[in-house]
Amino acid sequence: MRTAVFPGSFDPVTLGHVDIINRALPMFDRLILAIGENSAKKSLFPLEKRMEWLQDIYRSEDNVEVKSYAGLTIDFSRQCGASFLVRGLRSTLDFEYEKTIAQLNRSLEDGLDTIFLVCEPEYSHISSTIVREILINRGDATPFLHGKVAAKIMEALDRQQ
């Protein structure tokens, strides 16, 4: 069984994430959307909400699982029996950064390969960081969010304030 992990903060899940996930789906028998918990990073949305949103989007996909983890991605991947990591690339800057991480992961965990998918051009400007800034400043981020979760994200933000 070909199992892959797509790790990320998904804070929030954007159309860029959805593009990469949808294109990775046919490549693997099992795709784990892994929300990493980083104690050094302050999330805008609680882990439970981010998991709920991904589950809402991929509810009809039998080969998608949504999980959370803390610690090293390679350890989580080993626990899940994954041989692949999926990473999305928007630019050459992303490539250089992700290439370094992929090489380090491979040196620490022989047999764990990283698959890079270049996002569609219409999503190359979307990042969770920028979308968070738009949301924090009460801008309209709906053009960058999946329709199933855009309203829920806005509601969650309203409740936080």
Which residues carry out catalysis? Answer: 17, 41, 90, 128
- C-alpha pair distances (Å), 143 with each of 11, 24, 98, 117, 124: 16, 22, 26, 22, 13
For 70, list phi and psi in degrees, rounded to 5.
Answer: -125, 150
Q: How far is CA 155 from the centre of its chain?
A: 21
Strand partners, 117: 88
